[in-house]
Structures are given as structure tokens and as C-alpha cells.
Amino acid sequence: MIKRSLDSEPGQKRRVHVFLFWAVVTVIWFSSLGLRALIHPDEGRYADISLTMLQSGDWITPRLNGLLYFEKPALQYWAGAASFSLFGINEFAARFWPGLTSFLTVLVVWSFGKRLYGRDIAGKAALIVAGAMWIVGNGHFLTLDMGATFFLTLALFSFLLAQDEQSTPRARRWLMWLCWAAMAGATLSKGLVGPLIPGMTIILYSLAGMRWAIWKRLHLLSGLLVYFCIAAPWFIVVSRRNPEFANFFFVHEHFQRFLTTEHKRTGAIWYFVPVLLLGFFPWTTLLGRALREGWKSDGAGFQGRQVLLIWCIFTFAFFSVSGSKLPSYILPMFPALGMLLALGIGQVTEKAWRWHLLVPALLFAALVGLYPFAGRAVTPEAPLEVWQHMLGFMAVAGLTGLLGTWLAWRAISRGQLTTGLAALSLTSIVAMTLAMTGHDSYGQLKSSKRIVHAMGQYVHDDTELFSVRMHDQTFPFYMRRPVTLVDYRDEFALGQDIEPTRWIPSLAQFESRWRKAARATAMMHPETYDELSKNQLPMQVVYRDARRLVVVKP
């Protein structure tokens, strides 16, 4: 068993090392947010909604590409709009909220974990969570899940600290109010999962050991008041302004999404197994240790480890049986897993560490070995230079990972567990950053950034913009204004039904509109272009790739 750690160093020296480590992590974490173009669909969608809020000054009713959009609450849109106002309209500002909330999630794990389990355990948990691939990845990709995960993590750990036997009645009251406020933040970020995951965790914990006394310490009445004072106002106002909102948001986007496959995001019951295994990298082979730790007793009284375990199991099971699945849905379980692993990681033997570090080493080596096979991945949509660029970055990420894994093993073999964890965590962050940066060459194929640059000289303030029988969600963002959809509905259907004049339902109507326009440009698939060419519609191609092209009216 490993007995020595970084904490055996003199206090001043250790504090300097800790500060330098987290300073490096902070620089890498935030400086990499703007290195890649936004990609379709999620990043373009949420950036466009936030930009529209900022431009319109309407902070109540979300609009996507100018059309009413009620699928998600408004908190992240507000954060995105504020970020654009502070940092300008760019990729860094678009991703700043998930980048910030992912970093704050690590901070919550450390600060609350320190009071719950001590500085050493909290430091290890922060290293584990910061280095987990799914935290790094989702913290640098624009979706709603990282913001929701931050608030859910804050709710979980404030609840754990409130129920700790050492907490005073006054501290318990304030911590539970913080828990209720965090649930409200999660609700405004992602919807009803905000109260659902914490609520079901408490219910299942109570049932597991018939622990009903805990309900007396939840401050239910005042807590519900805090929750509704924060969460309810926006829902009330947006519903009053838009009578269609409540039914669509609560019924269509929650109950139908969970109970049916209407949203066409289906998956097998084991869908999230590979997501969990890959997402917890480089700690994957220690998952069993983390889960076993949840079964251990904390002694008499409140069982915080069991709460962490139940949180993880419920989150995983709930989304596994849902009719709608996306890989980032189980993200809220990763901070809890990290804390569980930190509680037991000191019991991992040196021999077990050898086997554990072999797995990330093999995966990093595989990244290096992929580069010679770039030519085998070539498709009409993704030419050789795209794959060479992306796999080149992945090869560098792999080499970095091999070096970091070796440094981690060297530290752990000397009994310096915390140093080894720090090396492996930083390695994971750097490798993920390199891999995501390299992905931009492929991501550009799913982005309109280059397209908008190519068509810049053809677009003026009075130019009409169209997207015909397709829609790239990044197109309105990079154009800085909405485009008119033609013969395309998908997630815009509600907004199109409410405001039918904001789109063009048929190709024939589009042809008429195009011929009358003084200036016009349109994005479409090659097949649509061929069809319109047969009708001798006046068009000049100014951009073309394998799956889309842009035309202007001559």
C-alpha cells in the first residue's frame, strides 16, 4: 500500500507546487476554449440563441434562428449573452459558460470535500474530477449539460455537508438553502432533472435504510420557498408571454422525451456503459474501487458515501431507461464518482497501480499508432489532409500521454501518490486539449465558419439569406443574423407553426422569392442545387464542398 504522498513535503513547498499545478491547469483550461470553430448542431444552436438574446434585448423568450424555441430553459442563454457582451462575439465567449462551470465543478468538489473528508482526500478528488475525460470534453464543448452538472454537484455536496454530524443547526440551515438554490439553478439550466436527481437520491437513501429522520433536516418549507423564488419567475413570465410554452416544455420536452422515442435519440439499455468507461478515463480501471467505496459505512449516523453511490446509480439507471439518450446525459455522476474514488484510492496497492497505468498507456500508444492509417479513413466529405491534421494532433496527444503516464508511475512507485495523480490528471487535460484542437480540421466540415468567410464579399446588409432543405446551426451565428428556412422543419416546427411568415414551406415559393430579391444568397445540398438548376433559377456558386454549397443571385 502506498503510504507517502505530496503532503509529506514541507508545507510551504507543497503549497507552491499546488499553486503552480492549478495555475497551469487554469491557463490550459481557459485558453483552449476559443481554439476551434463552433460545430453543428449543438454548439451552433446554443451560441445562436444567446447571440439573438443579446441582439434583440429580449431576455425572456428564446429564439433559434429567429424562431420561437422552447426546448430548454434560459439560464445558459443568459450566461452566453453576457459572455458575448463581455468578450465579444467569438468562440471563446460562446464556450465560456461550460468552461467556467466545469472549472467551478472541480472547485466545489475540492472546497466541500475538504470540509467533509479532509484536505488530502479533497485534493485527490479534485485531481480525479479535473482529469476525467468527460469533464474536460464537456467543459470545452457548448452544450447545456456542464452548467447543469455544476449546479447539481453544488446541490449534492451542500446536502452532504448539511447532513454531516459536525454541522451546526445554523450551518445546516444555510447549507440546505444553498442546496435548494442550486437545484433551482439546475432547473433553469436543464429543466426538471434539477430537482429530480437530488430528490430521488434522497428518497432512495431513505428507503435503503429506513432513514426517515433525514427529512426533518431538509428545511422543506423554507427550502421550497428558496427554490421557487429562484426557479419560478422566468417560467411564469415566459408562459404568460407565450401560451404554448408550458405544454411544449413540460409535456413534450420532458415526459414524452423520457417515455417515448419521438425525439429519435434512442439507444440500447447498455448505451451509457461505453460512455462511462471512456468518460472516466484515465481512471476507468478504478471504477470498481470507487463503487465499492460507496458500500462502506461512515460509522453511526449519516452515510455520505451511500448518498454518493445512490446518486451515481440513479443517474446512470434513469437515463439508461429513457427513450431519449445522448452521451452527455450522465455527466452529473462523474463528480460523485471522483469523490468515491478519492476516498478509496489510498488503498490501491503498488502492484494494482502497475496494471491500472497500463490501460491509459496502451490507449495513448494507440493514438500514436493511428497516424499511419490516415489514408484509410478518407471519404468524399473528409479528404486526406483533414485526417492527417487531426491524427497528427492525436499522435502528439498520445506521446504526451505516454510521457505523463510514465511520470505518474515513477511518482507512485516512490510512494508519492498525490504527485502521481497530479501527473496523470494534467496529462489527461493536455492530451484532451491537443486532441480537441486537432479535431478542428474535421469540425470545420460541420461548421459554417469557412463558408461565411468565403461568401463575405457577396453579402451586404440588405442581402436575403436562405437555407434550403437543410440547416447548419452555425450558419446564423457566423452570419450574425437569422437565415430564412426553406422546406425544412425539424426542431423549428413549433416556431414555424406559431409564426408561419418567418419561413418558406415549399421550393416553388422559394424560387418566386429568389427571383424577386435584389440580393440573395442560399446554402443547400448539391441535389437541391441540381433540381433548382433544371428550373433555370439564376444562381452563382461561391462555395462548394462534398455535402453543401452556397449560391448567390448574379
pLDDT tens digits, 498-522? 999 999 999 999 999 999 999 999 9
Per mean pLDDT, which range of 266-270, 392-396, 464-468, 482-486 is the poorest?
A: 266-270
Specify the length of the chain in residues: 554
Question: What digits encode the pLDDT tens for the residues 156-209?
Answer: 999 999 999 889 999 999 999 999 999 999 999 999 999 999 999 999 999 998
Cβ atoms within 10 Å, residue 57: 7
Distance CA 390, CA 438 (A): 4
Q: Give pairs for 483-489: CB < 8 Å, separation 24+.
A: 483/65, 483/523, 485/65, 485/67, 486/510, 486/522
Dihedral, 301, 305, 309, 311 alpha carbons, nearest 10 = 70
Distance CA 271, CA 268 (A): 5
Distance CA 197, CA 315 (A): 7
Query: Cell 493514438 sits at which residue?
Result: 367
Q: For residue 408, give the C-alpha cell.
A: 505518474
Contact call for residues 63 and 495 (beta carbons, < 8 A)? yes
Contact call for residues 64 and 469 (beta carbons, < 8 A)? no
Distance CA 161, CA 269 (A): 34
SS3 550: strand
Query: What mean pLDDT comes out for the span 22-46?
Result: 97
pLDDT category at 12 given cuts 50, 70, 90 is confident
Per mean pLDDT, which range of 94-103, 287-296, 525-534 is the poorest?
A: 287-296
Helices (H), 381-517: 384-413, 417-438, 440-443, 449-454, 474-479, 493-498, 507-516
227 or 295, higher pLDDT: 227
Contact call for residues 368 and 398 (beta carbons, < 8 A)? yes
pLDDT category at 7 given cuts 50, 70, 90 is very low
Per mean pLDDT, which range of 266-270, 347-351, 463-467 is the poorest?
A: 266-270
Of 6, 26, 334, 361, nearest to 153 by C-alpha is 334
For residue 248, is pLDDT > 90? no
pLDDT category at 267 given cuts 50, 70, 90 is confident
552 sits in which H/E element: strand 549-552
Task: For residue 149, give the amino acid letter.
Answer: T
Contact call for residues 184 and 231 (beta carbons, < 8 A)? yes
Distance CA 132, CA 148 (A): 17
Distance CA 257, CA 265 (A): 9
Contact call for residues 77 and 55 (beta carbons, < 8 A)? no
Residue 1: predicted pLDDT: 43
Q: What is the number of alpha carbons within 13 Å of residue 426 lying toward its C-beta? A: 21
For residue 261, is pLDDT > 80? no
Question: What digits encode the pLDDT tens for the residues 396-433?
Answer: 999 999 999 999 999 999 999 999 999 999 999 999 99
Entry pTM: 0.95
| Average pLDDT value over all residues in the chain | 94
Question: What digits encode the pLDDT tens for the residues 357-387?
Answer: 999 999 999 999 999 988 888 888 889 999 9
Question: What digits encode the pLDDT tens for the residues 341-357?
Answer: 999 999 998 889 989 99
pLDDT category at 6 given cuts 50, 70, 90 is very low
Cβ atoms within 10 Å, residue 200: 16
Distance CA 553, CA 528 (A): 16
pLDDT category at 99 given cuts 50, 70, 90 is very high
Question: What digits encode the pLDDT tens for the residues 530-543?
Answer: 999 999 999 999 99
Residue 10: predicted pLDDT: 59
